[in-house]
C-alpha cells in the first residue's frame, strides 16, 4: 500500500465497540470486496470493503473476519482469514500478507488461510445462536451485481437454516458515523493532499487548457503524495458544464471568461476528502460571476455554523434553504412575493440549488450514517452549497469538510484558499 502504516489500536478499538452491540452468543462475519472484472481477462483496481477495513485494517482481497465475543475458546473470539500465497502468485501478483503481517496490521492473533474458512466456521456455528451478516444498506446504494456478501448470505442461510440471522449494517452505520482521533488524522491527511493538488492548479489553469489536463495535474499530485488517487471521479466542469452536477467527461477546452467548477478529493488509507472550488479560467471574476460566488460563499459560511451537536440534517437543510432563498432573491433569480407564496413541498430555490448541502464523510465519500440521528461530536460532514444558472452558463459550488466538535465546527480544509480575492491573487502569481 502507498500509505503509511496505521496504528492497529484503531482497529482493535473498532472491534471492541462493535462487539458491545451484539446480542449474546452472536457470530459476525465480514468479507472483503470482490476483484471486479472488466472484459477479457481484465480487472478493475481492488477497493476493500469499508466495513472489513474499519474492523481489521486488512487491505487485501479474499479476506474474511469472524467476530465471536462469547466463544468458549478464547482464540476464537476474533479470527482473521487471509489469502495464502504461492510461487505463482508471487511471480504474477507480488507479495501477499503473511500470517504474522496480518497480525501486526489488525491486532488479531488468530489468523488462518482463506481456504480453511468453512471448516472453522462449521465449528463456531455449532456454538452460535445469532449470526450477523453484512450488506450495503446505504440509502443511495444502487447494487446491480451480486456481491461477495450477497453470495455468502445465500450460502450461509442455505447451509445453516436454523440460526437467527441479524443485520450488521445498522451497527456499522452507528459506529462509523463517529470518527476517532486516528481516523480524523487520516481524513486530515487526505485533505492536505487535496490542498496540494488545488494549489498546483492555481498556477496551471488558463484559457486553452483542457479539462482533462486539469484532471491529470490532480492525479499526478495525489499519487506522488501517497494517495491511491482521487477518492471519486473528479468533476472538472468549465462553462455550462458546471451546471451538470455529476459531469465527469472532462473533455472540453476551458475558455477565456469561463468559470471552472472542480469537485475532487484525495483518498488516503481508504479515507476520503471531498472538496469543490470554482475559479475564473482567466484569473479574474466578472462582476456577475463574483456576485454569484459571494452568494454561495455566504450560504456556505452560514451552513457551516449549523454543523454543531444537537442539530439534525432535516433542520439543517431547512435552514440552508431559507438562507439560499434570500441570496437568490438578491441575485434577481427569485421574486420575494413568489417565495412567500410558494408550495413548501416544492421550494423555488430548488431550480438553482437542487442538491443537498451536506453528507457524511469517512471511509466512503458518501459515508454511512443515520440521517435522522442528531449531530454528535466526531461526525464529519461536507458543506457544499451551489448555485447553477443554466441560462447564464454559470455554475458555482464551494465545498469543505467539517468536523463536528463540542466547541463548534472545525473546518478541515481551512488552509485551502476560498475567498474570491485570494483566488484571484494566487492565480495571477504566475
* Grid cell of 111 as nine digits: 489468523
pLDDT digits (tens, 9 = 90+) for 90-130: 888 888 999 999 999 999 999 999 999 999 999 999 999 99
Burial of 163 (0-12, 13-18, 19+ CB in 10 A): middle
Catalytic residue among 252, 327, 397, 401: 397
Listed in sequence order, the residues at least 6 apart from 421 whose beta carbon sits closer than 8 Å to its beta carbon are: none
pLDDT digits (tens, 9 = 90+) for 156-194: 999 999 999 999 999 999 999 999 999 999 999 999 999
Is 95 one of the catalytic residues? no
What range defines the domain where residue 204 resides?
Answer: 181-427
Is 74 one of the catalytic residues? no
* Grid cell of 199 as nine digits: 494549489
Please report, for the domain that includes residue 156, its CATH number: 3.40.350.10
Is 88 one of the catalytic residues? no
Tell me: pLDDT of 144 over 90.
no
Inside any domain, residue 372: yes
Same structural domain for residues 149 and 32?
Answer: yes
Same structural domain for residues 268 and 296?
Answer: yes
Distances (CA, A) of 76 to 62, 66, 125: 20, 8, 12
Catalytic residue among 149, 173, 388, 401: 388
When pLDDT is averaged across residues 32-59 and rounded to a whole number, the result is 95
Is 130 one of the catalytic residues? no
Inside any domain, residue 4: no
Q: Please tell me the total count of domains within the chain.
A: 2
Last-in-domain residue among 136, 154, 176 = 176
Number of residues assigned to the chain: 430
Same structural domain for residues 128 and 189?
Answer: no
When pLDDT is averaged across residues 377-392 and rounded to a whole number, the result is 98
Same structural domain for residues 84 and 216?
Answer: no
Same structural domain for residues 172 and 185?
Answer: no
CA contacts within 13 A on the Cβ side of 120: 24
Catalytic residue among 51, 62, 211, 263: 263
Same structural domain for residues 232 and 296?
Answer: yes
Catalytic residue among 221, 274, 325, 364: 274
Inside any domain, residue 1: no
Catalytic residue among 149, 327, 399, 401: 399
Is 192 one of the catalytic residues? no
pLDDT digits (tens, 9 = 90+) for 258-294: 999 999 999 999 999 999 999 999 999 999 999 999 9
pLDDT digits (tens, 9 = 90+) for 327-367: 999 999 999 999 999 999 999 999 999 999 999 999 999 99
Same structural domain for residues 168 and 245?
Answer: no
Tell me: pLDDT of 430 over 80.
no
Is 41 one of the catalytic residues? yes
pLDDT digits (tens, 9 = 90+) for 296-323: 999 999 999 999 999 999 999 999 999 9
The bridge status of strand 64-67 relative to strand 26-31 is: antiparallel
HEC per residue, the chain: CCCCCCCCHHHHHHHHHHHHCCCCCEEEEEECCCCCECCCCCECCCCCCHHHHHHHCCCCCCCEEEECCCCCCHHHCEEEEECCCCHHHHHHCCCCCCHHHHHHHHCCCEEEEHHHHHHHHHHHHCCCCEEEECCCCCCCCCCCCCCHHHHHHHHHHHHCCCCEEEECHHHHHHHHCCCCHHHHHHHHHHHHHHHHHHHHHHCCCCCCCEHHHHHHHHHHHHHCCCCCEECCCCEEEEHHHHHCCCCCCCCCECCCCCEEEEEECEEECCEECCEEEEEECCCCCCHHHHHHHHHHHHHHHHHHCCCCCCCCHHHHHHHHHHHHHHHHHHCCCCCHHHHHCCCCCCCHHHHCCCCCCCCECCCCCCCCCCCCCCCCCCCEEEECCEEEEHHHCEEEECEEEEECCCCCCEECCCCCCCCHHHHHHHHCCC
Task: State the Cα angle at 234 between 58 and 63, rounded to 5°.
Answer: 15
pLDDT of residue 382: 98
Q: How far apart are the C-alpha atoms of 139 and 383, rounded to whole Å?
A: 19
Q: How far apart are the C-alpha atoms of 184 and 189, rounded to whole Å?
A: 9
Inside any domain, residue 2: no
Are 264 and 230 in contact by the 8 Å Cβ rule? The answer is: yes
Inside any domain, residue 20: yes
When pLDDT is averaged across residues 73-91 and rounded to a whole number, the result is 93
Last-in-domain residue among 155, 176, 197 = 176
Percent of the chain with pLDDT over 70: 100
Inside any domain, residue 366: yes
pLDDT of residue 87: 86
Same structural domain for residues 242 and 123?
Answer: no
pLDDT of residue 130: 98
Is 31 one of the catalytic residues? no
Same structural domain for residues 149 and 60?
Answer: yes
Q: How far apart are the C-alpha atoms of 403 and 307, rounded to whole Å?
A: 8
Task: Answer positive or negative: Cα dihedral of 373, 375, 380, 386.
Answer: positive
Are 194 and 266 in contact by the 8 Å Cβ rule? The answer is: yes
Same structural domain for residues 212 and 333?
Answer: yes
Are 49 and 66 in contact by the 8 Å Cβ rule? The answer is: no
Please report, for the domain that includes residue 380, its CATH number: 3.90.230.10
The bridge status of strand 110-113 relative to strand 266-268 is: unpaired
Inside any domain, residue 3: no
Same structural domain for residues 298 and 413?
Answer: yes
Listed in sequence order, the residues at least 6 apart from 295 whose beta carbon sits closer than 8 Å to its beta carbon are: 327, 328, 330, 331, 387
Is 397 one of the catalytic residues? yes
pLDDT of residue 425: 97
Distances (CA, A) of 116 to 52, 62, 99, 167: 18, 12, 13, 25
When pLDDT is averaged across residues 389-407 and rounded to a whole number, the result is 98
Catalytic residue among 15, 173, 176, 359: 359
**Nearest alpha-carbon partner for 357 in 312, 390, 326, 394:** 312
Inside any domain, residue 347: yes
Listed in sequence order, the residues at least 6 apart from 261 whose beta carbon sits closer than 8 Å to its beta carbon are: 235, 237, 238, 241, 242, 276, 277, 278, 395, 396, 397
Is 215 one of the catalytic residues? no
Last-in-domain residue among 145, 161, 176 = 176
Same structural domain for residues 187 and 171?
Answer: no
Amino acid at each position: 500500500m502507498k500509505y503509511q502504516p496505521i496504528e492497529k489500536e484503531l482497529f482493535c478499538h473498532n472491534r471492541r465497540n462493535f462487539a458491545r452491540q451484539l446480542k449474546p452468543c452472536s457470530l459476525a462475519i465480514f468479507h472483503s470486496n470482490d476483484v471486479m472484472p472488466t472484459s477479457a481477462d481484465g480487472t478493475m483496481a481492488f477497493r476493500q470493503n469499508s466495513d472489513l477495513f474499519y474492523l481489521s485494517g486488512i487491505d487485501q482481497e479474499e479476506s474474511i473476519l469472524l467476530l465471536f465475543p462469547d466463544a468458549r475458546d478464547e482464540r476464537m473470539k476474533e479470527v482473521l482469514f487471509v489469502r495464502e500465497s504461492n510461487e505463482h502468485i508471487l511471480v504474477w501478483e507480488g507479495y501477499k500478507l503473511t500470517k504474522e503481517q496480518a497480525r501486526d496490521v489488525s491486532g488479531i492473533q488468530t489468523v488462518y488461510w482463506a481456504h480453511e474458512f468453512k471448516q472453522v466456521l462449521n465449528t463456531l456455528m455449532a456454538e452460535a445462536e445469532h449470526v450477523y451478516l453484512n450488506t450495503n444498506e446505504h440509502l443511495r446504494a444502487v447494487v446491480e451485481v451480486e456481491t461477495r456478501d450477497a453470495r455468502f448470505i445465500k450460502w450461509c442461510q442455505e447451509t445453516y437454516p436454523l440460526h437467527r440471522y441479524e443485520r450488521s449494517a445498522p451497527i456499522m452505520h452507528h459506529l462509523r458515523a463517529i470518527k476517532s482521533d486516528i481516523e480524523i488524522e487520516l481524513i486530515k491527511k487526505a485533505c492536505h493532499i487535496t490542498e496540494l493538488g488545488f494549489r498546483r492548479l492555481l498556477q496551471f489553469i488558463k484559457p486553452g487548457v483542457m479539462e482533462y489536463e486539469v484532471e491529470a495535474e490532480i492525479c499526478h499530485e495525489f499519487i506522488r503524495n501517497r494517495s491511491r488517487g482521487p477518492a471519486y471521479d473528479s468533476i472538472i466542469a468549465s462553462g455550462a458544464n458546471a451546471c451538470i452536477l455529476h459531469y465527469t467527461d472532462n473533455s472540453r477546452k476551458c475558455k477565456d471568461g469561463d468559470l471552472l467548477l472542480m469537485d475532487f478529493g484525495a483518498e488516503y488509507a481508504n479515507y476520503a476528502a471531498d472538496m469543490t472550488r470554482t475559479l475564473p479560467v482567466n484569473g479574474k471574476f466578472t462582476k456577475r460571476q463574483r456576485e454569484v460566488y459571494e452568494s454561495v460563499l455566504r450560504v456556505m459560511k452560514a451552513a457551516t455554523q449549523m454543523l454543531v451537536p444537537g442539530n439534525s440534517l432535516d433542520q439543517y437543510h431547512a435552514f440552508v434553504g431559507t438562507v439560499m432563498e434570500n441570496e437568490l432573491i438578491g441575485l434577481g433569480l427569485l421574486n420575494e412575493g413568489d417565495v412567500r407564496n410558494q408550495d413548501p413541498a416544492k421550494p423555488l430555490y430548488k431550480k438553482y440549488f437542487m442538491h443537498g448541502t451536506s453528507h457524511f464523510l469517512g471511509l466512503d465519500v458518501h459515508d454511512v450514517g443515520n440521517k435522522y440521528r442528531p449531530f454528535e461530536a466526531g461526525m464529519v460532514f461536507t458543506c457544499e452549497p451551489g448555485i447553477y444558472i443554466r441560462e447564464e452558463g454559470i455554475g458555482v459550488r464551494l465545498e469543505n469538510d467539517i468536523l463536528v466538535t463540542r466547541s463548534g465546527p472545525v473546518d478541515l480544509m481551512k488552509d485551502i484558499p476560498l475567498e474570491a480575492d485570494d483566488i484571484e491573487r494566487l492565480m495571477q502569481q504566475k
